[in-house]
Amino acid sequence: MRVLGIDPGLTRCGMGVVEGSIGRPLGLVDVGVVRTSAGIPVPERLVTIERGVDAWLDEHTPDAVAIERIFARSDVSTIMGTAQAAGIAMVCAARRGLPVALHTPSEVKAAVSGNGRADKAQVGAMVTRILRLDAMPKPADAADALALAITHIWRGGSQSRIEAALAASRTTPARTTSARTSVRTPVRRGGAR
C-alpha cells in the first residue's frame, strides 16, 4: 500500500509518501513541504497548496491519503489556515476517488512512538528509525506527514475493514426467530363510542 500523508498548514503543508504493509518494513518514497508566503492573499495561498497536492498525487499515485484531523488550539487564525489547507487536500483526493482518512495528532504520536503525548523530536526520531533514514526529515511538518502515512498503513487498513464489516452487517436482513407473526388489536380506553 502506498499512502500520501499530509500535515496541513497554510505556510508549510507537509507531504510524505510511504509504501509498505503491516508486518513488513516500510519504505520512504518521497517527503517535502508545499510552502506559501504569508504576504499573499489566502485564496492564492490555497491555490498554491491545491496545485502542490495535485502534483504529489499525480507523481506518486497513492492508494490512500491520510490527513491530520484538526483539533482546537488557542490560536484561531492557525486553526482556520490549517482547516482550509486540510479541506483543499481532501478535495484533491476526492476528485481522484481516493480514500481519505483523518488521524488525530495523539493517534499518530501513539502509533509511531507508543506515547500519545510525544513531542515533535520524538516523533521525528521514530519516523527516522521506522523508515531507516540517515537523518530526520526536516522541517517537522515533513516528518509529521510521514508519521501520518505510517499510522495509516499500520492502523488505517484495520479501521477500513472494521467499517466495511459494520456496513455489511447493517445491510444484511435480520433473521426472524419465529415463523408466526401476530397482529395486535389496539385497546381503546375510556369506554366505547
Q: Which of 7, 50, 58, 134 is catalytic?
A: 7
Active site residue 68: yes
Q: Which residues are annotated as a binding site?
A: 7, 68, 141
Q: Which of 44, 50, 58, 68 is catalytic?
A: 68
Rounded Cα distance, 153 and 2, in Å: 8
Nearest-CA neighbor of 9 among 79, 63, 61, 98?
79
| Residue 137 near residue 124, CB atoms below 8 Å | yes
Q: Which residues are annotated as a binding site for Mg(2+)?
A: 7, 68, 141
Q: What angle do CA 87, 115, 71 make, to 5 degrees?
A: 25
Question: What is the number of other CB atoms lying within 10 angstroms of the CB of residue 163?
Answer: 10
100-103 and 64-68 strand pairing? parallel
Active site residue 44: no
Place of cell 540517515: 134
Q: Which three cell numbers stand for residue 93?
A: 483526493
Q: Which of 50, 134, 141, 163 is catalytic?
A: 141
Please give the radius of gyration of the chain, using alpha carbons only, rounded to the nearest integer: 23
Active site residue 58: no
The catalytic residue positions are: 7, 68, 141
